[in-house]
């Protein structure tokens, strides 16, 4: 093929393959235990799989309605109200999406115009900045300070300008495993109450929260809910990230704009899976068991490495655990993550990749959504590192 590249002016010149793909590929090539990318290595529920297959057999194989099937939107609405209080009308305030990533891209595309500023907290999940840039916006990063990674609301106040259009929240937080408190949410609510700032609240790990903590969804705070998009992921909740299913909820005026983009982006998403989820989601146990299920995995992993030289605070949410290796090596986190994948046969994610300035706090992220055996084998390797 002739090299066409010379004539292409990239819209994302600084973007390369995501670190998740890089580390998973390396783990595969090196036959390493893969605690890098955030997905479970155990199966999705057989009941849910049966429901999908039944829906296919029953003929739900053509386009679903643009915003999602009504019965699924109805049960999503009931779930949000029962957990967080706010009522989202299924007709006008909820849209089913192809995972959270599509919801996030669609929200940003619908809302962000040339030179609008979007405040994000770094380390930040990797899809926010490219989505903002592609839409002509400017991401303004506020650093969460290690080792606690809390939000400095004074810094947020000082960063807000008349160009600030959006603030992106993520709680429970990937990659640090921290969760926002009620006071954090109240601080945000009062900071933006007299502005036109809207909030994109990425809550994909809403059900993965530990030690008796409660998830502080924007839907618990009327002053935030009225100006926010709430984003959720069935992939994260029901152990099937490969299905790419999620949803977005928000007040009707915001949702109307969201759907204008959604209908020309994907139009509608997987019909048989929507049918299956509309049944499976009715049983609250299916998501209420998750804190206990994942906390056991976190504790198994942390207990197994308690005598290692790594320094850590138990993750409060998500299925990620940060381990600080400053006692073990001065090496750059990216180089070390690659080296340990090749030499120790254990893959992780370097945290510097979640900052545009590649800040290296000597921390690696390990995913504990893995079978107990995988976690114990991973821990055994970590214990050997001196």
**Residues binding ligand PLP (CB under 6 A):** 38, 99-101, 125, 170, 174, 202, 204, 233, 235, 241, 244, 246
- Judged by beta carbon, residue 267 or residue 380, the one nearer ligand PLP is 267
Instruction: Compare residues 102 and 308 and give the one whose CB is closer to ligand PLP.
Output: 102
Q: 125 vs 312, which CB is nearer to ligand PLP?
A: 125
Of all residues in the shown chain, the one whose CB is closest to ligand PLP is 99
Within the chain, residue ranges assigned H as helices are 19-30, 46-57, 70-84, 99-111, 128-134, 153-159, 182-192, 222-225, 234-237, 252-265, 271-280, 285-288, 290-304, 333-343, 372-384
CB of 331 to ligand PLP, least distance (A): 26
Nearer to ligand PLP, 272 or 304 (CB): 272
Q: What distance, in Å, lies between the first and last C-alpha atoms of the chain?
A: 49
Give 164 or 170: the residue with its C-beta nearer to ligand PLP: 170
Residue 317 backbone phi and psi in degrees, to 5: -165, 175
Give residue for tokens 């209908």.
Answer: 263
Nearest of 161, 156, 159, 155 to residue 116 by alpha carbon: 161
The minimum distance between CB 287 and ligand PLP, in angstroms, equals 15
Burial 9-26 (b: 16+ CB within 10 A, else e): eeeeeeeeeebbebbbeb
In the complex, least distance from residue 229 CB atom to ligand PLP, rounded to whole angstroms: 13
C-beta of 121: minimal distance to ligand PLP in Å? Answer: 11
Q: What's the closest the beta carbon of residue 245 comes to ligand PLP, in angstroms?
A: 7
Beta carbons within 8 Å of 118's beta carbon, 6+ residues apart = 108, 112, 128, 132, 137, 138, 139, 140, 164, 165, 166, 167, 168
Instruction: Look up residue 197 and give its two tokens.
Output: 């700032």
Contact 182, 216 (CB under 8 A): yes
Question: What's the CA gap between 264 and 314, in Å, rounded?
Answer: 42
- Closest to ligand PLP by CB, 308 vs 318, is 318
95 or 174: CB nearest ligand PLP:
174
How near is the Cβ of 71 to ligand PLP at its closest, in Å? 21
- Cβ distance to ligand PLP smaller for residue 208 or 304: 208
Rounded least distance, CB 80 to ligand PLP, Å: 17
DSSP annotation of 308 reads S
Residue 246 CB, shortest distance to ligand PLP, in Å, is 4
Cis bond upstream, residue 123 (ω within 30):
yes
């Amino acid at each position: 093929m002739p090299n066409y590249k010379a004539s292409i002016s990239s819209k994302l010149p600084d973007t390369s393959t995501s670190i998740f793909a890089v580390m998973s590929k390396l783990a595969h090539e090196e036959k390493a235990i893969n605690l890098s990318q955030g997905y479970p290595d155990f199966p999705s529920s057989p009941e849910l799989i049966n429901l999908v297959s039944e829906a296919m057999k029953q003929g739900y194989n053509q386009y679903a309605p643009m915003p999602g099937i009504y019965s699924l939107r109805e049960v999503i609405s009931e779930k949000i109200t029962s957990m967080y209080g706010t009522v989202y009308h299924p007709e006008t305030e909820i849209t089913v999406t192809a995972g959270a990533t599509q919801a996030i891209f669609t929200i940003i595309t619908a809302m962000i115009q040339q030179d609008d500023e979007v405040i994000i907290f770094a380390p930040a999940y990797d899809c926010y900045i490219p989505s903002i840039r592609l839409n002509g916006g400017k991401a303004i990063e506020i650093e969460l300070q290690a080792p606690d990674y809390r939000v400095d609301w004074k810094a947020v106040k000082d960063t807000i300008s008349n160009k600030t259009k959006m603030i992106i929240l993520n709680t429970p937080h990937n990659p640090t495993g921290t969760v926002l408190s009620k006071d954090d949410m109240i601080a945000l609510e009062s900071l933006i109450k007299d502005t036109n700032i809207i909030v994109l609240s990425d809550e994909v790990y809403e059900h993965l929260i530990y030690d008796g903590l409660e998830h502080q969804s924007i839907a618990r705070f009327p002053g935030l809910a009225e100006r926010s998009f709430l984003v959720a992921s069935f992939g994260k909740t029901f152990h099937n990230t490969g299905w790419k299913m999620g949803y977005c909820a928000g007040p009707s005026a915001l949702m109307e704009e969201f759907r204008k983009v959604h209908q020309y982006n994907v139009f509608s998403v997987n019909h048989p899976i929507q049918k299956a989820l509309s049944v499976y989601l009715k049983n609250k146990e299916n998501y209420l068991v998750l804190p206990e299920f994942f906390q056991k995995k976190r504790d198994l992993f942390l207990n197994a490495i308690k005598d290692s030289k790594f320094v850590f605070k138990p993750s409060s949410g998500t299925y990620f655990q940060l381990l600080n290796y400053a006692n073990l090596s001065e090496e750059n986190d990216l180089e070390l993550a690659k080296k340990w994948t090749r030499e120790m046969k254990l893959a992780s994610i370097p945290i510097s990749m979640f900052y545009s300035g590649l800040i290296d706090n000597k921390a690696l992220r390990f995913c504990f959504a893995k079978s107990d055996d995988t976690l114990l084998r991973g821990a055994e390797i970590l214990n050997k590192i001196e």
